[in-house]
Structure 1
Amino acid sequence: MMVRLAEERDFPGFLGLAAQVEHWFGPMVEDAGFHDAVRDHIRRNAALVAVPSAPATDLLGGLLFGSDASVHHIHWLVVSQQARAGGVGRELMRDAMRRWVRGPADVEVVTFGADHPGARASGARAFYERLGFTPAEAAAPGPEGGSRQLFRRAVPAGGPA
């Protein structure tokens, strides 16, 4: 597996990943706003993809990243169903932190609330906790109406740990 900056040719792969998680996040594949967000992140070199070592057309995972001042945001992180629990998400996060985060800073991500069915099924909350994120304040519900919670990780001066 290799993690690299996303390119326009990866756009269909992002839609393929989105199709696998719409039942948790709400409609994305046909959503023009989602399309615009993915393309904007790709243009700004703020999107990463995980691809298989051997030539293949499907993405293993994708990440959209953003920053404002000393707060960085994981806007979207999805690992394909067949690659989950294989280290893909961890590698995407490692690359994003190395590439874009300099401390002191906070990194934030909004994920499922504890009562959301996707919280356990996706493993997202446990994943972020293993990476040093801690649950913070509640966030606005997702487009499907499910609860959301902000997770935050403090990065000390000098960069990510």
Structure 2
Amino acid sequence: MQAVPAVRADLPAWLCLASEVEDLFGPMVDDPQFRAAVERNMERGTALCVHAEREVPGGELAGGLLMSAHPPRYEISWLAVGGAWRGRGIGELLVRTALRDLTAGPGTVEVTTFGPDHPGRGARGFYEHLGFAPDLPLSAGGTRQTYRLRLPDL
């Protein structure tokens, strides 16, 4: 499996993946802003995906990642892995590919993920495993947490 840039033909599969994680992220599939963000990232090459079976555009997705790049600042704005694919390295593959292909160091990569009181709090350990360090919580009660990773000179 490999992480590849998403294309327009992947949009239905992307929305299907989003529907699978709405319990963690909130409503996305029917949100025109989410759809526009996915399309915008596809157009600028900052949407990566892993196809579940073959590297065929439009097929089921095992995972997807959206990233913004404003060197020297980068942001992972969305990362999701389908339930059947969790624990198989899909998320790590997406993040490592994004860091390799979408960044030009030095710089900082930020991601805002779930706080310790959220059902998706396992993402915290995932980002720490990849070298991200926690920063101050964004929201009262710690429901969201920002993590940062410093990029070395490439």
**Common fold: TM-score over 0.5:** yes
Letter in 2 for 1:44: R
Counterparts of 1:65-84 in structure 2, within 5 Å, are 65-84=67-86
State TM-score, norm by structure 1: 0.88
Identity %: 43
Paired residue secondary structure (2:77) = strand
Give the superposition deviation at 1:117: 2.0
| Residue in structure 2 matching 1:98, options 97, 100, 117 | 100
Aligned to 2:144: 148
Aligned to 1:124: 123
Paired residue secondary structure (1:118) = coil
Give the superposition deviation at 1:140: 4.3
Deviates most, 123-132 or 52-61: 52-61
Give the superposition deviation at 1:137: 1.7
Question: Gaps (5+ residues) in structure 1?
Answer: none
Letter in 2 for 1:134: A
Instruction: State how many pairs are aligned.
Output: 152
- Give RMSD over aligned pairs: 1.8
Aligned to 1:110: 112
Q: Which runs of 4+ in 1 moved over 6 A?
A: none
Q: Write the distance in 1 (CA, Å) between the matches of 2:18 and 2:129.
A: 24
- 2:71·2:103 contact (CA, 8 Å) conserved in 1? no
- 1:73·1:109 contact (CA, 8 Å) conserved in 2? yes
Aligned to 1:22: 22
Question: Gaps (5+ residues) in structure 2?
Answer: none
